[in-house]
Amino acid sequence: MPLVTSEQMILNAQKGGYAVGAFNVENMEMVMAVIAAAEELNAPVMMQTTPSTVKYAGLDMYYANALAAAKNCKVPVAIHLDHGSSFELAMQALRVGYTSIMIDGSHHVFEENIEMTKRVVDACAPSGIPVEAELGKVGGKEDDLDGGSGGYTDPLEAKEFVERTKISALAVAIGTAHGVYSGTPKLDLERLSEIRKLVSIPLVLHGASGLTDEAVRESILRGICKVNFATELRIAYTEGVKKVLTENPNTIDPKKYGAAGMESVKKLVMGRIKVCGCDQKAH
C-alpha cells in the first residue's frame, strides 16, 4: 500500500492501549528488515531518519527506499523525520514526501521551542502531515544529537505547549537517553502519568534502546503511544555483518553480509514490535 501518515496509526494505538514501534533505518537492508518484521507480525510501523542519517544519503534516497518497500507491503507504513533540527530541514522533508515530521526545539527555551514548533505545524497542516515535538530534553548522545544530562518534562508546561502549538504527538523526557546506557536507567513513571492526565494527544518515548521490556510496557500502560528504537538496530546490523566477516574473512559480496545484518535487525524488530503490543494491529 502507499505510505500513510503516522497520525491515525498512533491514534489507533492510543485507543487500543498499545504503542507503534518507530525504527531508525540507515540503509536499504534495514528498511527491508523493518518491513519484513512488520509484515510477518501484521503490525503498523514507522521508519525514521535523523538529520545525520539524512546527511549521509539525502532525504530523496531514504524516501525512495521507504516508498518502494511500502508499495509492496500489506501493513501501514510511515516515513518519519526524527529530531528535525531546523524549520528548513522539516520543509525539505515535507516537500520530498515524508509522511510524518518531528521538529526538535527542546534545546531552546520554552517560548522559542513553541515558536519554532508552531511554525512547522502551520506549514505542514495544509498537507495533512502530523508533527511531533519534544519538551524537556532526552539526554545522551547519538550522532550529532547531544542531549547532555537531559532535563525532565514539566507536566504543566506540556499542557501549555500542546495547546499553543497544536502538535499531533509529544515526545517527553522522563529519564531515558539516546545512545547506549552506561547504567540502568531510572524512569520517572509518575511524571509520565501526570503528563498523561493533562495532555490528551499521543505521547512518545525516545531513547528506548536498552530499556527492559518491563519498562517499555509500563510506559505504554501510562500513556506512551509511540516508542523509538535506534541504537540497538545499529548494533544488531553490525553484529550480523561482523559474524559473516569473522567466519568468512574472504567474503567480498556485500549481499552476503548485508543479508546477515538484515536478518539480525528483523529478529530484533520483531521482538520490539511484540513488546510494544502492536503485533496483529495493522488496520
Amino acid at the residue 251: T
Q: Say how far apart CA 69 and CA 23 lie, in whole Å.
A: 14
Residue 192 · residue 223 · CB < 8 Å: yes
113 is known to lie in a ligand binding site: no
- Residue 22, pLDDT > 80, answer yes
Report which residue type is found at 171: A
To the question of whether residue 150 is assigned a binding role by annotation, the answer is no
In a domain, 254, yes or no: no
- Rounded distance, CA 264 to CA 109, Å? 40
Domain-embedded: residue 244: no
CA separation for the pair 133, 128 (Å, rounded): 16
Domain span at 99: 6-238+265-276
CA dihedral 242→37→172→163, nearest 10 degrees, is: 140
Q: For 119, how many CA atoms within 13 A lie in the half-sphere containing its CB?
A: 15
Split into its structural domains, the chain has a count of: 1
Residue 281 domain flag: no
Q: What is the pLDDT of residue 149?
A: 47
Judge whether 239 and 247 are in contact, CB under 8 Å: no
Chain position carrying cell 544488531: 236
CA-angle at 262, arms to 260 and 264, nearest 5°: 70
* Pair 169, 177: CB distance under 8 Å: no
Q: Does residue 67 fall inside a structural domain?
A: yes
If we measure between CA atoms, which residue out of 17, 21, 93, 88 comes closest to residue 53? Answer: 93
For the segment 253-263, the average pLDDT, to the nearest whole number, is: 98
14 inside domain: yes
Residue 248 belongs to some domain of the structure: no
**What CATH number does the domain containing 27 carry?**
3.20.20.70
Residue 108 labeled ligand binder: no
Residue 33 CA neighbour count, 13 Å, CB half: 28
pLDDT tens digits for range 27-58: 999 999 999 999 999 999 999 999 999 999 99
In residues, how long is the chain? 283
111 is in an annotated binding site: no
Q: DSSP letter string over 16-37?
A: HT--EEEEE--SHHHHHHHHHH
The CA distance from 110 to 96, in Å, is 29
Q: Is 178 annotated as a binding residue?
A: yes
pLDDT tens, 130-178? Answer: 999 999 976 545 565 544 445 899 999 999 999 999 999 999 999 887 5
Mean pLDDT of the chain: 93
What confidence category does residue 65 fall into, taking pLDDT thresholds of 50, 70 and 90?
Answer: very high
**Catalytically active residues, by annotation:** 82
- Sign of the alpha-carbon dihedral angle for 122, 123, 128, 131: negative
Confirm whether 243 is domain-assigned. no
Is 39 contained in some domain?
yes
